[in-house]
Structure 1
Amino acid sequence: MAGALPEQELAEAPGIAGRSILVKVPATSANLGPGFDTLGLALAQYDELEVSVIDAGLEIEVHGVGAGEVPLDDSHLVVRAAAHSFARAGYALPPIRLVARNTIPHGRGLGSSGAAIVAGVMIAKGLLEGIVEFDADRLLELATELEGHPDNVAPALFGGLTIAWTTPEGPRHKKLIVHRGVSPLVLVPEHEMSTALARSLQPEQVPHEDAVFNVSRSALLVAALIQSPELLLAATEDKLHQNYRAQAMPETDALIRALRAAGHPAVVSGAGPSILVLASDPAERAEAAALVAERAETAWQALPLAVDFKGATVHAA
């Protein structure tokens, strides 16, 4: 925790005894094809958490996704992120009761770890309201310190389509409003994918022409998403990461190829193995879901989701 005070020097935050807050964080899809480690989209699928300051200890309940699987102690990612954010403000995380109701699938490329980190940062923002000011840059900085890169946490924090980049002064973002015709479809398989494994399949260097190709498609993708959805099929072409990762998720790769051959703008969602289809209207979205139901060798869940425009929220319970 760069910049935090040593644990024994952390003060108790004044005046937060008895505070109770509600936090809501959306799922995200990063990369969107060519926008590797840069572009992200917030989706209307949420983890919701209720957090109360209690007299002593740490109490955690998890319902829905992750119940019976995630740790129920201070190693829980949401708690770690909250403690990190408190420490960076010079305070110790108080005793809390955390009740999480999760719907974001784990290990499927939909930003579940980023959502957990953002939830922890928002817990600090909510419980320290009136004591510490967390502006947008500060929230993104804290979340990126834990996630390692801002492409998932930026849309989770701010909603919509985000472009994220890093500077010597820290991570930055630009939020854009997605064209109302864009109709996302997320296709979720039963199996998981390790982000670390997916990243390990990336080459250290790529051909110059592939880099130029992706620069052009990334620029086109921004235009397609905010203004010209009819360009989404061409705009979602990629040569930097999806082909290299295909060997680790062959069914994902086969379905994306089938979808794209049928004219649907399909990409790997984040590190996979889920698929994101950026359809230009609800009818196209339904056609893409039907194609996957017909072609898939294993069970895939089709989630027709809206774009989330708010991002993470926190308010008093």
Structure 2
Amino acid sequence: MLGRTVAVRVPATSANLGPGFDTLGLALSVYDELTVEEAPAGVLEINVTGAGADEVPRDATHLVVRAIAYTYESVGRPVPGLKLTAHNVIQHGRGMGSSGAAVVAGILAAKGLLEGDVAFSDDDLLRIATEMEGHPDNVAPALFGGLTIAWTTHDGPAHKKLLVHRGVSPLVFVPDYTMSTKLARSLQPDSVPREDAIFNVSRSALLIAALTQSPELLLAATEDKLHQDYRAQAMLPTIALVQALRAEGYAAVVSGAGPSVLVLADGPGKRQAAAEIANRVSGARWEPLLLAVDFKGGTVRDVTGDSALTA
């Protein structure tokens, strides 16, 4: 509908959580927000502020615009003109799911603009997002919130959302350098020792129990032998901080592909002490983000006619 405007809000995410490589993800209380207005065909206006604003394109290659177009095309609808206004808070290239958030934002914007014409199920949203992102571990929590387990079947990607124990207090240390997800993945071997695979299976199972029922088990549950050590050479300050925190009893892991560090503290009072440890680790400057688990996931609402949101 020409002139329809939707507002979208999508959380940051942290994938892997240590042992749950390409499977587990957690939604965090940092958000990108945007409004999208349907405009006459051929119109494309993009205004971006906040994190990464100077780096993102202002044409049809913008990831949110690409996700909107992909979603329209997937349901056989012509792509309309668009007026996009975005305020980004999720930092780019830091392992907090910025690209997954952009993909989800575009898909949800398309869902809102197509309301009344096309209905999207949760499975539809996850399938489209996974097709664009390549794997579901970031897009699942960005879509649905909370702790998500994602896997693939012959019929496409699937997920299970779980509620996180209220005693779990996330803390993210964001460094002053970036990391390419493509580079991080290139450092992974094609195969791993059988005992390492068994090790991670046991820790992944334990991590679900720790996050949902027994936070006191988080340190043991976040051990990993599948990906973090292989990527260490590309982000030495990150691994140094993870090791320093774990030596002091903190459940610290590389956030996604890095280089941010996620700490799953078993109580909010312990996060300040963790920040003091980070101040002593050289190699990078760390911005501590004291966060909560986001339980809602991405949201979209029609704000047509609301000048305060669409200006």
Q: TM-score, normalised by structure 2?
A: 0.96
Match of 2:4 among 16, 19, 28: 19
1:187 aligns with 2:181: no
Secondary structure of the residue aligned to 2:109 is helix
Q: C-alpha separation between the residues in 2 aligned to 1:254 and 1:115?
A: 28
Alpha-carbon distance, 1:294 to partner = 2.2
Q: C-alpha separation between the residues in 1 aligned to 2:62 and 2:156?
A: 26
Alpha-carbon distance, 1:295 to partner = 2.0
Structure 1 match to 2:16: 31
Alpha-carbon distance, 1:289 to partner = 1.1
Q: C-alpha separation between the residues in 2 aligned to 1:182 and 1:29?
A: 14
The CA deviation string for residues 26-66 of structure 1, in whole angstroms up to 9 with x for no partner, is 00000000000000000000000011112351000000012
1:280 aligns with 2:266: yes
The CA deviation string for residues 94-149 of structure 1, in whole angstroms up to 9 with x for no partner, is 11100000000100000000000000110111000011011100000000000000
Structure 2 match to 1:132: 118
Structure 1 match to 2:143: 157
Alpha-carbon distance, 1:92 to partner = 1.6
Structure 2 match to 1:254: 240
Q: How does 1:230-249 map to 2 (within 5 A)?
A: 230-249=216-235
Give the fraction of aligned pairs with identical amino acids, expressed as a percent: 67
Aligned residue type for 1:27: A
Alpha-carbon distance, 1:242 to partner = 0.3
Q: Where does structure 1 lack aligned partners over 5 or more consecutive residues?
A: 1-15
The CA deviation string for residues 260-293 of structure 1, in whole angstroms up to 9 with x for no partner, is 0000000000000000000001111111111101
Structure 1 match to 2:164: 178
The CA deviation string for residues 190-248 of structure 1, in whole angstroms up to 9 with x for no partner, is 11000010000000010000000000000000000000000000000000000000000
Q: C-alpha separation between the residues in 2 aligned to 1:252 and 1:197?
A: 15
Aligned residue type for 2:166: R
Structure 2 match to 1:103: 89
Q: How does 1:48-59 map to 2 (within 5 A)?
A: 48-56=33-41, 57-59=43-45
What is the total number of aligned residue pairs between the two structures?
Answer: 302
Structure 1 match to 2:308: none
Aligned residue type for 2:202: S
Match of 1:47 among 29, 32, 50: 32
Aligned residue type for 2:142: A
Structure 2 match to 1:74: 60
Aligned residue type for 1:62: V
Residues 10, 31 of structure 2: 8 Å contact kept:
yes
Q: C-alpha separation between the residues in 2 aligned to 1:120 and 1:155?
A: 15
Q: Where does structure 2 lack aligned partners over 5 or more consecutive residues?
A: 304-311
Match of 2:98 among 112, 115, 118: 112
Structure 2 match to 1:11: none
Residues 27, 297 of structure 2: 8 Å contact kept:
yes
Q: C-alpha separation between the residues in 2 aligned to 1:161 and 1:89?
A: 29
Q: C-alpha separation between the residues in 2 aligned to 1:237 and 1:50?
A: 40
